[in-house]
Chains A and B, each alone.
Chain A
Amino acid sequence: MTKPQTDDLRWKLFETMLLMRRFEESVSRLNEQKHFTGHYHLYIGEEATGSAAMACLEPRDTITTTHRNHGHVIARGADPGAALAEILGRAGGLNGGRGGTIHLCDPALGFLSTSGIVGGSISMGSGGAFARKMKKDGSIHMAFFGDSALEEGVAFEALNIAALWKLPCVFLCENNSAEAWAPGSGGYTTLVHAAHDLRAIPAALGIPTTRVDGVDVDACHAAIMEGVARCRAGEGPVFIEAMTKRWAGSAPLWPELSTGVTDLRMATGEASTTGEHHAWFEHDDPVLRLARTLLAGAPANKARVFDMDARVRARMAEAEAFAIASPSPAAATLLDHVFA
């Protein structure tokens, strides 16, 4: 059941989602401009899940995430300039340029580690939850991972441990493979699993599961809040599968901004949504969907939506300038931090 959300919460989530979206558009632009090279992953299309999830957590909670981490780190409050600088491999980056796009990590915000190894986040998630349980303070852990993580054996091991010891872990699967092209069709790597319903795997271990529309931020917030409350009450782990829509730009191996820079006028009817990406613009883009919800029957909200976007874009312009101006890490630091 989707619980009605307050407008205050919707506006807060909308601002977060806009920042996540504009951040990824910056990343794409900086890549096109050759400010960084190498493989990277964008969070476009999953903003509803990540923003809702972060809104359900408290500062004392901990998080593990994956190669598709940008949205999580930004939604939790990391400085966009430092995050962009990290993606560019600069000294001013969140991690001094040592981690890059796949490993954005800010422990001050509760991120334990950001693993680019499929299954890494879910497997360390049980450990994070174990530490929370030892603290005995009602804090919990949230592990973000994609559907393919459940192909890894270690994911099953971690779920088993969490179930046996009733660890306070929200296992949040952001499933973006529902409509993905398989590699055989020239598409991106996608789910290869004998289980038709991934919920069956945690369910076999007695972990309560739920599936939610990952594009609907109200639904995501309600489902994740319920899971978080259960964990916080000491009832053990939960598994939430958020069904997100595969963004067209994620279809090729190297992401491309195939749907263009998000035009919020599509939500007001002032810009056309026709063409190849019509379904995305009309139904599947979580940012446009929430904008329509906020604007429905409230024309006065239009100025607020566009003002908010202008502020977010100004913030990202500053972040881009900071990242580009940040120097490369000094050669003398090469061997720093091998050991603590």
Chain B
Amino acid sequence: MSEHMSIAQALIAAIADAMAEDPMVCLLGSPLGLGPQRMLMNGLREAHPDRVLDPPTCEAGNAALGVGAAMGGARPFVDLSTGSFSFLAFSQIVNEAAVAHYMSNGKVRVPVTYHTLEGVRGGGAPQHSQNVHALFWNASGLEMLAPATPADMYGLARSAIASDNPTFIMGHAKLLGLEGPVPERKAVPIGKADIKRRGRDVTIVAIHLMVHPALAAAEALAKEGIDVEVVDPRTLAPLDEATILSSVAKTGRLVVVDEAPLQGSIASGIAGMVAERGFHSLKAPIQRVARPDAPVAFAAGLEALLVPTAETIAAAVKRTLSTS
């Protein structure tokens, strides 16, 4: 039975369903921030007072709590609040959780899930607007998910909690309220991209929030006779390279969109991967659409200039067509 949910509702539904199925699943922190959606937590708190806990303001300690609890047999879902705060937990995630399985020769398992609300949120100024996924993308041993729709959030959150690996769900502050169908309550496999729109002329690869301006750009371009395919990787690590390469093999043109600063972004990483492995499919230079390498300004007018939009994405698509 299809349900209609916001991304916030889908996330809470996934956690609630996982907690109902497994008594070792617990929620440490509130994944819905301080906005109105936080009230969705009330049902969970009442249902599982021993397993839904509010830790102190200490991101490193909370991340380590999750690592130790996961190693000890629990399946903790640890919320790190605003994306920028996860920097305080960098060592625990990157240098404890992500490496323990490898350095124990596969003996230690770390089934912890981290979640954060990252990205340019509107008025966040530099310290509350960081896109952190690119920095964590370099951590070997860490699964990273970036759901863009309620159905993907439900399904990927279920897979994250069920995974025996440390998994980081990159939520976006602007996506919490986005609504859509959840056709069925079922896990979405980790490592599998989704083609959000099929097309023949140009491939756009866009991640989490950027999927939506990419789709808007595709609709606008369709009116001009340009048929765009939009690929949503959904999982950033491990990346579904085959789906991206196969789309580029069909279209011969690639635009990659990421809200993170360009240097070291997912856009740069995917562009490099395709340049190396899909070079002979390409009919035009790859276009990367990302934030300039600068902190995020507070002033609304300046902030708006930094982030990719449907217009800047559409312009990049046209560049791939004009250079052929």
Are A and B bound to each other? yes
- A139 closest partner in B (C-beta): B72
What total of chain B residues lie within 8 Å of the partner, measured CB to CB?
46
- B64 closest partner in A (C-beta): A123
What total of chain A residues lie within 8 Å of the partner, measured CB to CB?
46
Q: Given A127-B64, A339-B238, answer yes or no on A161-B58 (Cβ-Cβ < 8 Å).
A: yes
Interface contact A98-B96, CB-CB below 8 Å: no
Q: Indicate which residue in B68, B92, B101, B164 contacts A131 across the interface (CB closer than 8 Å).
A: B68
A89 CB to closest chain B CB (Å) equals 12
Interface contact B102-A131, CB-CB below 8 Å: no
Q: For chain A, residues 155 to 184, give those with C-beta under 8 angstroms from any C-beta of chain B.
A: 156-158, 160-161, 164-165
- Give Cα distance in the complex from A93 to B107, angstroms: 12
Instruction: Say yes or no for A204: interface residue by CB 8 A criterion.
Output: no
Instruction: Say yes or no for A62: interface residue by CB 8 A criterion.
Output: yes
- Give Cα distance in the complex from A126 to B140, angstroms: 25
- Give Cα distance in the complex from A157 to B73, angstroms: 22
Q: Which residues of chain A are near B51, meaning CB under 8 Å?
A: 134
- A99 closest partner in B (C-beta): B103
Q: Which residues of chain A are near B68, meaning CB under 8 Å?
A: 64, 112-113, 123-131, 141
Instruction: Say yes or no for B304: interface residue by CB 8 A criterion.
Output: no
- Give Cα distance in the complex from A164 to B58, angstroms: 13
Given contacts A117-B91, A127-B72, 14 further A-B contacts (CB under 8 A): A64-B68, A105-B104, A107-B108, A108-B107, A113-B110, A120-B64, A124-B67, A127-B76, A132-B72, A135-B73, A337-B105, A338-B101, A340-B106, A340-B109
Instruction: Say yes or no for A327: interface residue by CB 8 A criterion.
Output: no
- Give Cα distance in the complex from A132 to B72, angstroms: 7
Q: Given A127-B71, A158-B64, A161-B58, answer yes or no on A134-B96 (Cβ-Cβ < 8 Å).
A: no
Q: Which residues of chain B are near A62, meaning CB under 8 Å?
A: 71-72
Interface contact B101-A339, CB-CB below 8 Å: yes
Q: Which residues of chain B are near A154, meaning CB under 8 Å?
A: 58, 60-61, 64, 91-92
Q: For chain A, residues 68 to 115, give those with C-beta under 8 angstroms from any C-beta of chain B.
A: 93-99, 103, 105-108, 112-113, 115
Instruction: Say yes or no for A197: interface residue by CB 8 A criterion.
Output: no
Q: For chain B, residues 163 to 177, give those with C-beta under 8 angstroms from any C-beta of chain A.
A: 163-165
Instruction: Say yes or no for B315: interface residue by CB 8 A criterion.
Output: no
- Give Cα distance in the complex from A97 to B105, angstroms: 8
Q: Which residues of chain A are near B105, meaning CB under 8 Å?
A: 93-99, 337
Instruction: Say yes or no for B44: interface residue by CB 8 A criterion.
Output: no
Residues of B within 8 A of A (CB): 23-24, 26, 50-51, 53, 55-56, 58, 60-62, 64-74, 76, 91-92, 95-96, 100-110, 140-141, 143, 163-165, 238
Q: Which residues of chain A are near B72, meaning CB under 8 Å?
A: 62, 112, 127-132, 141
Q: Indicate which residue in A95, A125, A131, A157 contacts B58 across the interface (CB closer than 8 Å).
A: A157
Instruction: Say yes or no for A336: interface residue by CB 8 A criterion.
Output: yes
Interface contact B104-A113, CB-CB below 8 Å: yes
Instruction: Say yes or no for A186: interface residue by CB 8 A criterion.
Output: no
A168 CB to closest chain B CB (Å) equals 11
Q: Given A131-B72, A161-B56, answer yes or no on A105-B107 (Cβ-Cβ < 8 Å).
A: yes
Going nearest first, the 8 A-B pairs with the smallest beta carbon separation are: A127-B68, A157-B61, A131-B72, A96-B105, A124-B68, A123-B64, A157-B58, A112-B71
